[in-house]
Amino acid sequence: MNKIELFENQRASGYNQFVETWIPNYHYFMNNLPNLLKQTENKNLLVVGCGTGNEIERFVHTTEQWKITGIDPSPEMISQAVQNLKDFKNVNLIEGIVNDLDRSDKFGAATLLLVLHFMEDDGTKLNLLKNIAERLEFGAPLILLDITGNKTQIKENLEVLRLFLPKNLDKDDINNRLHRIENELNAVSEERLSQLLIEAGFEAPLRFFQTSIYMGWMTRKK
């Protein structure tokens, strides 16, 4: 129930190259995050599962005065984020989980990118979403990027993903990776994701982005 998917060793050091290779349009999605949250009045942003700091890097280069808290349980990912973001005084990086954050700190927006699909739908996903909701003020947006779809959608979109992948990748690596996504990760259907968000205290989410198995969702704290 509390299993944490830690990104360690090579998975941490090679992370940025990994996402660029395997997630089509990752850059495009990340680059547009500040646009998505531009109208948010409270610029206190919570970045859950911030990893190496990829989403935070997009916010520190905008003209808006964001105050950013990035949290991640992986020491290796957080230490890369600390290194990448050391020049920015408005960024606070924490090695830990959302539950470690004080409930009285209310954030004006949050992101949860490429985290939820690692967690089982046995209460673990719901707990994380509830913990985030508890730390957001009323109306605060939450942006998600997650592998989403029912079994058939995932199967068919994995074949689309295969077509998008760089031509120089090893065939066995591709097959192993696609097999792992289909059989070992914990993607849920669009309907189930919506149910989980509503149960956690959010509005029904809007799917605003999709590239093969990866869907971008936007919702608000109710």
Ligand X SMILES: C[S@@+](CC[C@H](N)C(=O)[O-])C[C@H]1O[C@@H](n2cnc3c(N)ncnc32)[C@H](O)[C@@H]1O
- 6 contributes a contact to ligand X by CB under 6 A: yes
**Is the Cβ of residue 8 or residue 204 nearer to ligand X in the bound state?**
8
Q: Given candidates 37, 45, 46, 48, which one binds ligand X under the rule CB under 6 A?
A: 48
- 60 contributes a contact to ligand X by CB under 6 A: no
* Sign for the pseudo-dihedral over CA of 164, 165, 171, 173: negative
Q: Around Cβ 126, how many Cβ atoms within 10 Å?
A: 16
Q: Given candidates 51, 108, 149, 216, which one binds ligand X under the rule CB under 6 A?
A: 51
Q: Please give the residues from 165 up to 184 whose contact with ligand X meets the rule CB under 6 A.
A: none
Q: Please give the residues from 99 up to 128 whose contact with ligand X meets the rule CB under 6 A.
A: 113-115, 128
* CA distance linking residue 79 with residue 132, whole number of Å: 23
**Is the Cβ of residue 3 or residue 204 nearer to ligand X in the bound state?**
3
Long-range contacts from 37-41, C-beta under 8 angstroms, 24+ separation:
37/109, 37/141, 37/143, 38/64, 40/108, 40/109, 40/140, 40/141, 41/108
Residue 180 Cβ vs ligand X, minimum distance, rounded to whole Å: 13
Contact 113, 27 (CB under 8 A): no
**Is the Cβ of residue 92 or residue 204 nearer to ligand X in the bound state?**
92
- 146 contributes a contact to ligand X by CB under 6 A: no
- CA 56 from centroid of its chain's CA atoms: 12
Contact 67, 88 (CB under 8 A): no
Residues that bind ligand X (CB under 6 A): 4-7, 19, 48-51, 54-55, 72-74, 77, 97, 113-115, 128
